[in-house]
Structure 1
Amino acid sequence: MSKSELSNRVNAENLSYDDEIDLKELFIALWKGKLTIIACTLVCAVMAVVYALNAKQVWTTEALITSPQVNDFANYQRMVSDFQPVFDVYQDDGTVLVSERLDDIILPDTLFSIYIQQFESRANKKAFIAENAEFQRELSEVKANTQDSTEEEIRDREAELYSEWYAKLAATPVKSSGQEVEQYTLHGQLSTGNDSYEFLNGYINFVAEKARAIAVANVSSIVASKRSEIMQQQTLFTEQARGRLLNERAQAKYALEIATAAGLDAPQQNLNSQDLFAINIGANALAAKVKVLDNLTELSIIEPKLHQLNAKFDLLSALAIDPNLAFNTFQFIEAPEKPISRTSPKRPLIAVLGVLLGGMLGTAIVLIRYAFAKKD
């Protein structure tokens, strides 16, 4: 065996022996410092338990919703469908062009999107939260603690409080791979299970009323627009009919004068009926025509389109939009239920983490002491 190989072997044996001695010394040092480790573990465990017992509790109530079924908004659909004839176009040959103007507002997805938008609306959250007793108490505390602050600081603190409360009400989309969002999970958080249940349930009902009001308002807006359109058309066709009536009356009078002057009292078959002042029907008939035109008040005889417009306007006047109509803009897959366990704090987990942290801290202290002692 060469000298270099012998040297390497001796060095390896010495290194293994040193490692074995260091590991023994390490365990001995830990054993000697066991009281420090136990003390740190106990202190951290007690602190963790105290924190867990005194930390503000958070209870979460959840609900799962999706777009409504047809029977959920049948009343709304029926009310909208009653207005459909007003929007359809009736042609002279009897065919009907069905308007699609009302189709979108009665789609389940449209109603559902209105509900989700209103649920996430900060204005709605603020209006609902402002009536909550716990929020009012916290807001009073903020005002009491910021009496000596500037108005800007007070507003900032109040805004922070509102933001914290906005986060207590949330709608989270339930996404599935490759598909559009069809379901939402609604969350409501407060300091007790019963309070969180009432908080979320109350807000769900509060938003449902808002969504219904907006859906009905959309119908009212479209119907009002159509009413204005019909009134404008009525005005236009009425003026056209009056103009035509005046023109017919003037032509009949001039034709009567011509026929009388010509001595043509009876109808004449050899005269052109397409002349500007047609006298082929004779003076007697022209006199009767002038009398009828002078007494004519029903302009729809002159302009038949007025019949359709008047009928649509009468239908609009007969129909009513019910602002208190009962219908749903969503349906529950899972209705809210009182939670059986708190969301936070997780007391057993906090206690376990406290013990682990204390043990690690105590071990670190012992090892640091050992390292400095060995160095000296």
Structure 2
Amino acid sequence: MFKIEFDMNDIKNNESPVDNKISTGVDVYDLFLKLWKDKITIICSVIVFFIASLIYVMNCSVWWSSKAIITNADYMTSIDIKNRISDLYLIMDSPSGNENLDKLSNNKSLFKQFVNDFSSIDNKIDFIKNNKEINSLRLLTKLTSPKEIMLFNEGWAARIKIYKIKDEYEVKIETNDSKLSQHLLSEYIKYINSIVNNNVINTFNLLRSYQYSYLNKKYNYLLNVAKDKIKSEISETKNSIKLAIASGTKKPILQFDNKQMFPFYSGSEALEKKYQILNNFNDFEIVEPKLLKIKNEIKLISSSNGYSKITFNTIKFVQKPTLSIHPEKPNKSIVIIFSILLGFFFGILVILIKFFLETLKTNNYNKGLK
């Protein structure tokens, strides 16, 4: 009897590492067995999360987006603009002036302006404030305080987006209605195009006004120079007449010294005739030939009424604003699949916690017995 007890103790005190592995394997097996026995917990968890996801996707706000892809306007746009401001090209008599005009009418430059203006928060806010459809939606929300209205406008501005795709740009607007998205995107593109148009036209008109003012000042300056030349010639002729009379020279004589201050060799009779002509002289363009050119340029500018009627496209559509078929947000399939997975793992987590607590309780009980 004593020998049997000794052998049993000897066996217990000489457990091998293999026995430990077997014990550990049993624990893992027990864990999977526990998961299988409590599978109803996982199923219930999946069902609860699935129902919750259905309720969410049925009641959450659905966002639709309309998209368009844009790029540089055709080169013909630049040609068309240059043709319409050809008079400005004629009077901009400096190479730098014509370079500035080329930059303003360049299709790449126009497209860059469009992208910058499209991205501008101020332009987005201005568009939102003046749009009838968006203002109708704001009235439905019954927002009255300036802060609430500001937050409303900023929220809508955040839904107007632009992304670069290589040499092209994708633009889009998100709303609660598919048709409204398409309409607002089309309207906003027109709005930005008009801003670029106005900026370019205003710049053209400023250049026109500047050149008109510059030419007038230049004309008046050269006119005064011409008048001063005539005055100087009249004074010189008057003194020459006095010398001719004093010397008794009435008729022209040969004069070899042409460098005298007051030449009287033409004779008093010719000099008096010259004096009369100079006193009535008004054709200053003979004295300053540049006056005629400047006068024609001023006349050319004055004959035009500016460039307010010029309109042009600053972009070209690779893809026009589309009517969305599927909502942008939320993606119902992804929400439901994610909820099912979340429910599955949540169920496993609950079982693992229960298994851990039961194991801990059993170990504490066994320690108490020992």
| Bin of the TM-score, shorter chain as denominator length | 0.7 to 0.9
Give the 3-state SS of the residue equivalent to 1:83 in structure 2: helix
Give runs of ≥4 in structure 1 deviating > 6 Å.
Answer: none
- Output the CA distance in 1 between the equivalents of 2:346 and 2:181: 38
- Output the CA distance in 2 between the equivalents of 1:172 and 1:360: 37
Is 1:70 aligned with 2:70? Answer: no
Q: Specify which of 30, 33, 43 is matched with residue 25 of structure 1.
A: 30
Give the 3-state SS of the residue equivalent to 2:65 in structure 1: strand
Q: Specify which of 208, 212, 215 is matched with residue 200 of structure 2.
A: 215
Distance 1:270 1:242, change over 3 A: closer
C-alpha contact 1:75 1:326 (8 A) present in aligned 2: no
Q: Specify which of 352, 356, 371 is matched with residue 341 of structure 2.
A: 356
**What's 2:314 paired with?**
329
Shift of 1:132: 4.2
Q: Which amino acid aligns with 1:336?
A: P
Give the 3-state SS of the residue equivalent to 2:193 in structure 1: helix
Distance 1:373 1:138, change over 3 A: farther
**What's 2:4 paired with?**
none
Is 1:164 aligned with 2:158? Answer: no
**What's 1:48 paired with?**
53
**What's 1:36 paired with?**
41
The answer to which of 272-281 and 349-358 deviates more is: 272-281
* Deviations, residues 197-230 of structure 1 (Å, cap 9, x unaligned): 1110111111111111111111111111111111
Shift of 1:347: 0.5
Q: Which amino acid aligns with 2:353?
A: I
Shift of 1:140: 5.5
Rg comparison, structure with higher value? 2
* Deviations, residues 115-153 of structure 1 (Å, cap 9, x unaligned): 122212223212221224345434663625xxxxxxxxx
Shift of 1:20: 2.3
Shift of 1:364: 0.4
* Runs of at least 5 residues in structure 1 that lack an aligned partner in the other structure: 1-5, 90-95, 145-153, 176-181
Give the 3-state SS of the residue equivalent to 1:336 in structure 2: coil
Q: How does 1:271-286 map to 2 (within 5 A)?
A: 271-286=256-271
C-alpha contact 2:77 2:107 (8 A) present in aligned 1: no
C-alpha contact 1:273 1:280 (8 A) present in aligned 2: no
Distance 1:224 1:97, change over 3 A: closer
Is 1:137 aligned with 2:137? Answer: yes
Q: How does 1:1-376 map to 2 (within 5 A)?
A: 11-88=16-93, 99-130=98-129, 131-138=131-138, 141=141, 143=143, 154-175=145-166, 182-376=167-361
Distance 1:134 1:309, change over 3 A: closer
Distance 1:99 1:188, change over 3 A: closer
C-alpha contact 1:72 1:331 (8 A) present in aligned 2: no
Distance 1:320 1:301, change over 3 A: same
* Deviations, residues 218-275 of structure 1 (Å, cap 9, x unaligned): 1111111111111111121122222111111111111112112212122221342332
C-alpha contact 1:73 1:327 (8 A) present in aligned 2: no
Q: Percent identity?
A: 21
- Output the CA distance in 1 between the equivalents of 2:292 and 2:187: 50
* Deviations, residues 25-79 of structure 1 (Å, cap 9, x unaligned): 1122112322222111111111111111211111111111111112234432212
Shift of 1:97: 11
* Runs of at least 5 residues in structure 2 that lack an aligned partner in the other structure: 1-10, 362-370
Give the 3-state SS of the residue equivalent to 1:143 in structure 2: coil
**What's 1:148 paired with?**
none
- Output the CA distance in 1 between the equivalents of 2:117 and 2:309: 18
Give the 3-state SS of the residue equivalent to 1:100 in structure 2: helix
Q: Which amino acid aligns with 2:105?
A: I
Shift of 1:163: 2.0
Q: Which amino acid aligns with 2:285?
A: S
Give the 3-state SS of the residue equivalent to 2:85 in structure 1: helix
**TM-score of the pair, normalised by structure 2:** 0.88
- Output the CA distance in 2 between the equivalents of 1:142 and 1:208: 32
- Output the CA distance in 2 between the equivalents of 1:138 and 1:51: 25
C-alpha contact 2:205 2:307 (8 A) present in aligned 1: no
Shift of 1:102: 2.1
Q: Which amino acid aligns with 2:87?
A: D
Q: CA RMSD in A?
A: 2.4
- Output the CA distance in 1 between the equivalents of 2:97 and 2:324: 50
Give the 3-state SS of the residue equivalent to 1:76 in structure 2: helix
- Output the CA distance in 2 between the equivalents of 1:138 and 1:319: 45
Give the 3-state SS of the residue equivalent to 1:281 in structure 2: coil
- Output the CA distance in 1 between the equivalents of 2:54 and 2:97: 70
Shift of 1:155: 4.0
- Output the CA distance in 2 between the equivalents of 1:254 and 1:68: 69
Q: Which amino acid aligns with 1:53?
A: M
